[in-house]
Amino acid sequence: MSPRGVATPDVRELLFAAAERVVEREGPGALTSRSVTTEAGCAKGLLHAHFAGFDEFVAELCLDRFARTAVKARALSGLAGQGTVARNLEAVALALFDPGGPALSGLAMTRPAAALRIREALEGGAPGFTAIQEAITGYLQAERRLGRVAETVDPGTVALAVVGTAHHLLMTNWPGAPDPRPSMKRVVTMLVTG
């Protein structure tokens, strides 16, 4: 455990990673401010020193993970003409299912204050599913111009289907449920290969 008065580098990421480990190992019901700080090996008050409360922490964690996936999605444009279209899209779609993703999304929805904070941030322009959808649309348009996606494929519709499927799988996942990633892969492949 970090001694009192010693600076902890990148506190947000330290606490976010700890929360993901707790959720992955024990489920969303085990996530508390105490379980997060215990897992992180830091002082109990550290979380509340950096966040207004546990709901803000949960909201910020979800928003941070959405932003990371949006960065991956924006990088798709640089992959046009490389690899396979399905694999490139899978990498972005599956990033939403990184450790703790499904459970954290469900947790945020059970905490009204966290859900409200997330909605307000997304309405204010924080990257989320819309940013991911727009990046996928742009990528598929580029691939269609290169002839790697059929002219009959509507990039916007495919992007909506990919994001909608990911959202559905995230919101309907529970501890012990089948791994959603194989379903996501099948949907992506079917959408881009017809």
Confidence of residue 13 (pLDDT cuts 50, 70, 90): very high
Query: Is the whole model's pTM more than 0.85, yes or no?
Result: no
Amino acid 153 reads V
186 close to 86: Cβ distance less than 8 angstroms: no
Dihedral over alpha carbons 179, 107, 158, 141 (to 10 degrees): -110
For residue range 147-173, list pLDDT tens digits in order.
Answer: 999 999 999 999 999 999 988 887 777
Residue 143 has pLDDT above 90, yes or no: yes
